[in-house]
């Protein structure tokens, strides 16, 4: 009896194996595995599933990688556009804050525009120059500066004083004693001539402006992206807190072309643009004509220039009456 039972068991195993082989052959032409097929013995279902579960071949893996690379190449320009747009939006927000602070300052100082800087000895004695954004001293608190009490920020990296397209580390601070300066320039040339270092000796005869006297406030630039182009490819550009016009005035020679314009064009990917705030509190983005960009000896754009060929209307509305 034992021999008969043994032969029956062997026969059953042989039949089960033949069924498994026959089923595996049919699976080669099937799109799915019959995990609950009644024709497959329960003891063999797991091994059959494992033996014929789908897997990536080398060719399929390479094709998948190629598709992912293609998708990334398609998406990257859109992603760059989104990032650039977000930085421009942040810059516009920064400059609206500056324009608001500028108007609040005037409300406390008999409608006078904020001075570009206190730099004369009669104002600062032996102390550091006090710019609108901060005092030029390593010990000066981050909130120093004539405009800073009206801003909900302090001088720091990624603050409202820095354009997100020109963060700290990508420029040399204008002030020798400050690690963080500002990448926005103020139109002190028109708004506070006597209080504008560098140009005051030539233009101090012009009036310190009151907000009520400003012509075309929606056109007049108050703050804007600024920068001093680097002298060569190995040096960083310098920040400047002054927004200079495309022409400079001399009491002896009149208006002459500005050879080192400070208006910066750093927004956008293909067409570069400038972000600026105006006397009415608005902030705008303007694409510059290519002929107004400053270029080096090889014709390469330096990232600076002017928004117009003459000071009117954005920089100095009454320049022809000087």
Q: Which of 226, 292, 274 is nearest to 88 (CA)?
A: 274
Q: Which of 198, 173, 174, 175 is nearest to 188 (CA)?
A: 198
Q: 195 or 229: which carries more pLDDT confidence?
A: 195
Torsion sign (Cα): 318, 91, 76, 295: positive
pLDDT for 20 equals: 55
Specify the residue for token string 């019959």: 34
pLDDT for 152 equals: 87
Return the structure tokens found at 210: 């009151």
What integer is the mean pLDDT of 114-126? 94
Task: Provide the β-strand partners of residue 257.
Answer: 247
- Looking at 104-108, 182-186, 234-238, 274-278, which range is the least confident one? 234-238
CB atoms within 10 A of CB 34: 15
Contact at 8 Å (CB) between 145 and 156? no
pLDDT for 105 equals: 98
pLDDT for 179 equals: 75
Integer Cα distance of 21 and 5 in angstroms = 24
What integer is the mean pLDDT of 138-155? 89
Please give the mean pLDDT across all residues of the chain: 85
The residues near 43 (Cβ < 8 Å, ≥ 6 apart) are: 16
- Looking at 125-129, 242-246, 292-296, which range is the least confident one? 292-296
**pLDDT tens per residue across span 240-265:** 999 999 999 999 999 999 999 999 99
Contact at 8 Å (CB) between 261 and 306? yes
Integer Cα distance of 257 and 260 in angstroms = 9
Q: Look up residue 210 and give its DSSP letter.
A: B
**Percentage of the residues of the chain whose pLDDT score is greater than 70:** 82
Q: What is the pTM of this model?
A: 0.77
Residue 44's pLDDT band, with cuts at 50, 70 and 90, is: very low
Q: Tell me how far the alpha carbon of residue 41 is from its chain's centroid.
A: 66
Q: In Å, what is the CA distance from 149 to each residue of 94, 154, 199, 205?
A: 15, 9, 26, 29
3-state secondary structure (DSSP) of residue 130:
strand
**pLDDT tens per residue across span 55-84:** 668 887 888 888 888 887 777 777 788 889
Residue 5's pLDDT band, with cuts at 50, 70 and 90, is: very low
Return the structure tokens found at 280: 């009415």
Q: Which of 194, 176, 196 is nearest to 185 (CA)?
A: 196
What integer is the mean pLDDT of 162-176? 89
pLDDT for 187 equals: 98
The residues near 94 (Cβ < 8 Å, ≥ 6 apart) are: 160, 161, 162, 163, 184
Q: Is 151 exposed, middle or buried (0-12, 13-18, 19+ CB in 10 A)?
A: buried
Residue 321's pLDDT band, with cuts at 50, 70 and 90, is: very high
Residue 27's pLDDT band, with cuts at 50, 70 and 90, is: very low
pLDDT for 32 equals: 46
Integer Cα distance of 198 and 185 in angstroms = 14
Residue 12's pLDDT band, with cuts at 50, 70 and 90, is: low
The residues near 260 (Cβ < 8 Å, ≥ 6 apart) are: 228, 229, 244, 294, 304
Structural element, H or E, at residue 305: strand 301-305
pLDDT at 181 over 90: no
**pLDDT tens per residue across span 257-292:** 999 999 999 998 888 999 999 999 999 999 988 889
């Amino acid at each position: 009896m034992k021999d008969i039972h043994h032969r029956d068991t062997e026969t059953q195993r042989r039949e089960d194996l033949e069924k498994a082989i026959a089923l595996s052959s049919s699976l080669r032409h099937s799109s799915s595995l019959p995990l609950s097929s009644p024709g497959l013995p329960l003891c063999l279902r797991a091994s059959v599933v494992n033996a014929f579960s789908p897997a990536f071949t080398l060719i399929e893996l390479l094709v998948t990688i190629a598709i992912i690379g293609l998708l990334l190449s398609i998406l990257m320009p859109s992603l760059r556009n989104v990032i650039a747009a977000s930085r421009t939006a942040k810059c516009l927000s920064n400059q609206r804050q500056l324009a608001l602070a500028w108007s609040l300052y005037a409300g406390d100082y008999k409608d006078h525009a904020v001075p570009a800087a206190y730099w004369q000895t009669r104002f600062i004695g032996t102390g550091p120059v006090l710019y609108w954004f901060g005092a030029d001293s390593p010990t000066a608190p981050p909130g120093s500066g004539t405009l800073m009490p009206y801003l909900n920020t302090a001088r720091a990296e990624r603050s409202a004083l820095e354009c997100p397209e020109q963060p700290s580390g990508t420029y040399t601070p204008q002030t020798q004693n400050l690690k963080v300066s500002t990448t926005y320039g103020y139109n002190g040339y028109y708004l506070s001539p006597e209080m504008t270092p560098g140009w005051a000796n030539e233009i101090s005869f012009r009036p310190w402006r009151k907000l009520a006297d400003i012509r075309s406030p929606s056109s007049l630039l108050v703050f804007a992206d600024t920068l001093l182009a680097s002298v060569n490819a190995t040096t960083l550009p310098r920040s400047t807190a002054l927004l200079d016009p495309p022409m400079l005035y001399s009491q002896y020679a009149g208006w002459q072309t500005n050879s080192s314009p400070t208006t910066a064009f750093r927004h956008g990917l293909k067409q570069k643009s400038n972000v600026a705030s105006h006397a009415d509190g608005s902030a705008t983005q303007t694409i510059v004509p290519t002929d107004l960009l400053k270029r080096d000896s090889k014709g390469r754009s330096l990232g600076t220039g002017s928004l117009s060929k003459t000071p009117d209307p954005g920089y100095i509305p009454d320049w022809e009456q000087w």
